[in-house]
Amino acid sequence: MRAPLPIGSVVVVLLCAGGGLRAQTPADAPPPAAVAPPNPAGEVQRFEPAEVTESRPAVLPPAAPTAPTAPTAPELPPLTMDEIAVATTNSRVTMNVFGDSAFKVDSVTSGKPAFVLGPLDLLLTGRSGNLMALSEIALETGDDGAIGIDLERGFVGWHAETFSIDAGRTHTELGYWNNAFHHGRWLQMPVDRPRAVLFEDEGGILPIHSIGVTGRWRVLTGEHQLELMAAIGNGRGVIVDNLQLDRDDNLFKSLLLKIEAKGFGARELRVGLSGFYDRIAPEPATDAAGGATRPALPDQTITELISNAYLAYRGSDLTVIAEAFDILHTATGGHWNTFDGFGLVAYRFGTLVPYATFEVRSGDIAQDPFFFPDPTAPSAILGKFEEATAGLRWDLNTWSALKIEYRPTWIVATKSWDQREMIDWTFGL
């Protein structure tokens, strides 16, 4: 039978093990003062790359010499591995929660207003020195009211000052937005992501998630930074939403390269180029049960090349983000090219941030056999369009914001407008 710990020791262990949750503020302000666990390495929890800063206590001058004191008794060693106090190691585990509720009116539902429950995002991060592990789980409601649980990200990584590597399911290092703003809607300025970087199960056209290994190398550090990134992973599945978690239909793996420069011209200015290459496995026109798989282009490998360029400036008041994607699919006897570009401009006036976005999609997307493998089947992917958003974000406090926006979309195929008005109350804790 294990001897009970003294009450004083239990209190010490509990105090050492406590920790506060952090979430990024829209203005990158430091969180309210709270008692934090010892953190010898000065690590900071980050929701998006290089955008969270934390004020550090000033170095105090040496204290005046005092009379020697009697040595204190050493602390009792932990009885089991599960009882190791956080203070005895450089470990840290945090949990953050993101969610939102909204009220919207749109032309898709014939102008009938409705309250909408957004996804609930749970982010778990563990750190021990350079080692880190992350798990992001999203709870989402479907059109039928059922609640689905998705593992959006789950990886282990080693993060040093100039080099890092992650292995598992990550957000693909394709462009800027995809890794600057993850699944928590509170992190981004508008309610929704631009359509170019929508998630695969929401009508997206890009490989937003990657299952593989990603490495980063900071060639230059300091005021002017230069970072190189490379990744290898499983390729695309039969359709856009077919993520290959435990297999790959092709022997060939998807490849990604990216280069980003920061601080040249302005401290918060980022410019970058990225590219993605994959060979999508051939599919028959129908499966064994007679259902359609890829009747638009049966039994042919599709080669995919995605090119991207971006510019992002996120200052204390002004935010400007612009990205462009070119997607080229080729196969025997044909090629299909799709272009998608978007931009965002926002300016902060205290707690109020008016913002505007614009996006355009053009090219051969409607005829692309990968995006529309069965042209007769309904699809969440939108063809050619032009879209604008005008909105106002009101930061209620450090952890919550109210967004009011109007979004008209011109759909080229039907020559019609799709309009949406929305009020969204979002939080990040």
- What is the model's pLDDT at position 147? 87
Most confident of 144-153, 165-174, 220-229: 165-174
pLDDT exceeds 90 at position 144: no
pLDDT exceeds 70 at position 410: yes
Which has the higher per-residue pLDDT, 22 or 219? Answer: 219
Which residue pairs from 357-360 have beta carbons closer than 8 angstroms and sit at least 24 positions apart in sequence? 357/190, 357/194, 357/387, 357/388, 357/389, 358/387, 358/388, 358/389, 359/194, 359/195, 359/196, 359/385, 359/386, 359/387, 359/388, 360/385, 360/386, 360/387
Rg (CA), the chain: 25
Residues 6+ apart with CB under 8 A from 380: 201, 202, 203
Judge whether 150 and 138 are in contact, CB under 8 Å.
yes
**pLDDT, tens digit (0-9, with 9 covering 90-100), for 188-222:** 999 999 999 999 989 999 999 999 999 999 998 88
Which has the higher per-residue pLDDT, 213 or 245? Answer: 213
Residues 6+ apart with CB under 8 A from 355: 189, 190, 319, 344, 345, 346, 347, 389, 390, 391, 392, 393
What's the rounded Cα separation, in Å, for the pair 193 and 102? Answer: 15
- What is the model's pLDDT at position 28? 43
Amino acid (1-letter code) at residue 247: R
pLDDT exceeds 60 at position 52: no
What's the rounded Cα separation, in Å, for the pair 39 and 58? Answer: 15
- What is the model's pLDDT at position 109? 75
- What is the model's pLDDT at position 70? 52
- What is the model's pLDDT at position 5? 42
Judge whether 405 and 391 are in contact, CB under 8 Å.
yes
Residue 324 sits at φ, ψ, to 5 deg, of -140, 135
What's the rounded Cα separation, in Å, for the pair 73 and 169? Answer: 47
In CATH terms, the fold of domain 88-428 is Porin (2.40.160)
- What is the model's pLDDT at position 54? 42
272 beta partners: 260, 310
Q: Locate 28 and state its tokens.
A: 């990158």
**pLDDT, tens digit (0-9, with 9 covering 90-100), for 375-391:** 888 888 999 999 999 99
* Count of C-beta atoms within a 10 Å radius of residue 127: 20
Instruction: Return the domain boundaries, the chain.
Output: 88-428
Confidence tier at 328 by pLDDT (50, 70, 90) = very high
pLDDT exceeds 50 at position 252: yes
Q: Locate 379 and state its tokens.
A: 């699809």
Confidence tier at 142 by pLDDT (50, 70, 90) = confident
What's the rounded Cα separation, in Å, for the pair 225 and 275? Answer: 20
Of 36-45, 86-95, 272-281, least confident by mean pLDDT is 36-45
Confidence tier at 22 by pLDDT (50, 70, 90) = very low
- What is the model's pLDDT at position 34? 42
- What is the model's pLDDT at position 84? 37
Q: Average per-residue pLDDT in the chain?
A: 83
Of 42-46, 67-71, 81-85, 182-186, least confident by mean pLDDT is 81-85
Of 220-224, 227-231, 273-277, least confident by mean pLDDT is 220-224
Q: Locate 74 and state its tokens.
A: 């050493």
**pLDDT, tens digit (0-9, with 9 covering 90-100), for 295-311:** 999 999 999 999 999 99
pLDDT exceeds 80 at position 88: no
Which has the higher per-residue pLDDT, 102 or 61? Answer: 102
Confidence tier at 11 by pLDDT (50, 70, 90) = very low
What percent of the chain has pLDDT above 90? 65
